[in-house]
Amino acid sequence: MKTILTVIILIFGFKVMLAQGLHFGPQIGFASTTIIEKGPVGAIDKSLKMGYQLGAAAEFEIMSFLYVGGSITFFNKGDKIKGDGFKSKTNFGCLDIPINIGYKMPLGNISVFGSIGPYTSVTIMGKSEYIIYDQNGNVEYEHSHPAEIGGEYGYYKRFDTGITVAAGVEFKQYQLKINYARGFTDFTNTDFIKSYNSIMNISAAYFFGRNY
């Protein structure tokens, strides 16, 4: 009896949240990421690294055109450096939590929107790889090891904060957006180099119960 009552309360609460303009659902996407590094000799030239994201998003409608949104997403980030005869790559697994305020404008059956807001990111795992190639392009040396994250002696800091800006389109429950995030926190624990996350990603979300 208690189990049935609990299920009824949960279903009722779910319906109330939807009626009040709160919608949520899964979100997936892919990203082009890098770490902007600046040292004594200037910026370090790097290549973009492709990654993915997987998580859930939510939006609360304040007015018909104004909303507050947020998400919690597992993000594959990092950077890549390719030089003459070598390649260096760093992979991070992060939990990103952005909160943004957005404006929507209907255009027929779809809506276009833009948003801006802060984000917080927590790095939970990481790996660094280094590869040297011979003159024929074959792998001559390869080494990988866990990235040193957090703590007093970790090279990379665990926490990052910054700002995100996004734009996209919606059709009923479906949302597609492009987003750029720029970290404001120096990502490395050293006085010689300053590093900042830079992420451009495209994501798709499905919001349960939304049909406008």
Q: Is a pLDDT exceeding 50 seen at residue 49?
A: yes
Assign 212 a pLDDT band (cuts: 50, 70, 90). Answer: low
Model confidence pLDDT, tens digit, residues 14-41: 444 444 578 999 999 999 988 888 776 6
In the chain, what are the domains?
25-206 (2.40.160)
Give the DSSP H/E element, type plus range, for residue 11: helix 2-19
Q: Is a pLDDT exceeding 50 seen at residue 10?
A: no
Sequence-separated (6 or more) residues with CB below 8 Å from residue 156: 92, 123, 126, 147, 148, 149, 150, 187, 188, 189
Sequence-separated (6 or more) residues with CB below 8 Å from residue 202: 29, 30, 31, 176, 177, 178, 179
Query: Residue 92 has what DSSP assignment?
Result: E
Q: How far apart are CA 165 and CA 151, in angstroms?
A: 30
- What does the pLDDT read at residue 171? 93
Q: What are phi and psi of 102, to 5 degrees?
A: -135, 165
Q: How far apart are CA 156 and CA 188, in angstroms?
A: 4
List of long-range contacts for 8-17, beta carbons under 8 Å, 24+ apart: none
Q: How far apart are CA 49 and CA 127, in angstroms?
A: 14
Closest of 159, 147, 31, 157 to residue 91, by C-alpha = 147
Query: Residue 169 has what DSSP assignment?
Result: E
Mean pLDDT of the chain: 84
Give the DSSP H/E element, type plus range, for residue 13: helix 2-19
Residues in the chain: 212
Distance of alpha carbon 54 from the chain centroid? 9
Model confidence pLDDT, tens digit, residues 92-151: 999 999 999 999 999 988 999 999 999 999 999 988 888 888 777 788 788 787 888 877
Instruction: Give me the percent of the chain exceeding a pLDDT of 70.
Output: 85
- What does the pLDDT read at residue 72? 95
Enter the pTM of the model: 0.79
- What does the pLDDT read at residue 119? 96
